Amino acid sequence: MKAVESDEFKNEPNWFTAVRAAEAKKAQDVVVLDLREVTSFTDYFVICSGSNARQNQAISDEVHAQLKERGELPVSLEGYSNGEWILQDYGDFIVHVFLPAPRAFYDLERLWRHAKKVALPAGR
């Protein structure tokens, strides 16, 4: 059963709810990659960074809470206890919450460079 949500956000895609949730916890350098023309295992990556492991966990918790209100639960959750790279798999999109060093090392934006970057609206 899906929770009742405000009309303002009712029709937004779930990946955008994840973006708003991450930004509510001060996520930095938020990037969304549209992978629909590149791969079939997911449609979008939401990639962001926090300044420390605890902030990454808070970002992950907020993403989980806001999507749960919409009736969405992750298929899997990886890396939460460590907090360096938290991966939340929601099937049609995956949320990656990194510390800056692992984000630079794994460089998903370069690895998936053929994916389109989604333009996020200003003042979201």
- The confidence score (pLDDT) of residue 11 equals 83
Q: Give the whole-angstrom CA distance, residue 108 versus residue 112.
A: 6
Q: Are 66 and 5 contacting, i.e. CB atoms less than 8 angstroms apart?
A: no
Topology of domain 14-117 in CATH is Beta Polymerase; domain 2 (3.30.460)
Tokens of 124: 């979201």
Between CA 59 and CA 48 the distance in angstroms is 9
The residue among 3 and 27 whose pLDDT is bigger is 27
Report residue 33: phi and psi, to 5°: -110, 130
Predicted TM-score of the model (pTM) = 0.90
| The pLDDT of residue 1 is above 50 | no
Asked whether the predicted pLDDT for residue 37 surpasses 60, the reply is yes
CA 17 to chain centre: 9
Residue 4 has pLDDT above 50, yes or no: no
